[in-house]
A = this chain, B = another copy of it.
């Protein structure tokens, strides 16, 4: 089979694919063999039409009158996402967040494995953290080549993140998961995905403000308008 050249695939659809996968695995654990777009949609607060259209962007996986075979759909979606094989991933930054990521068990069965950890702090280099020996940044290039690493996680402070990103790009890394609160600039052939706590919390604070405003609220001093 040729792989997927997502001609007209909406980006949100790809994102939802991950969610479908997780639900499917949950349904599988409950020994459900087959599932309808309605069931799958309900479990994620999406419409059945949305689910069908999303899946249909990638092929015809369902059976009219029956639904989707759970096992089959899991395999299909994993193949689409590229997680039907293990990805070697590197981590830069062995601070608190880095430690948490190293300890996180969830990666393995999602198809990702952290295989190398780097830090710029000479005091950390060559020490052991959990199962990993922290390497100096100078080792990036050889390690990436030796282990065939294509994805990197950046968990360093904001002010060094762009420099690290540049180094990763220079070594040929193709995708970066960024935890630092800056927007990285990278060439267009490199994928970047960001986890940004400030943004997420601000989103919530905005939402909650709306709500409390909508019902009742402290007198509210003026501030122009």
* Residue contact B217 to A181, C-beta cutoff 8 Å: no
A32 interface residue, CB < 8 Å from B? Answer: no
In the bound complex, how far is the Cα of B21 from the Cα of A209, in angstroms? 17
Nearest CB on B from A194, distance (A)? 8
Q: Write the residues of chain A forming the contact surface with B, with a CB cutoff of 8 angstroms.
A: 1-6, 14-15, 17-19, 21-23, 43-45, 59, 79-83, 87, 89, 95-97, 99-100, 103-104, 106-107, 110-112, 150-151, 158, 174-177, 181-183, 185, 189, 191, 193, 195-214, 217, 220, 222-225
Q: List 24 A-B contacts (CB under 8 A).
A: A2-B220, A3-B209, A3-B213, A14-B203, A18-B202, A19-B183, A22-B182, A43-B183, A45-B183, A45-B185, A81-B202, A82-B202, A87-B201, A95-B100, A97-B100, A112-B205, A151-B204, A151-B208, A174-B208, A175-B208, A177-B204, A191-B208, A193-B201, A195-B197
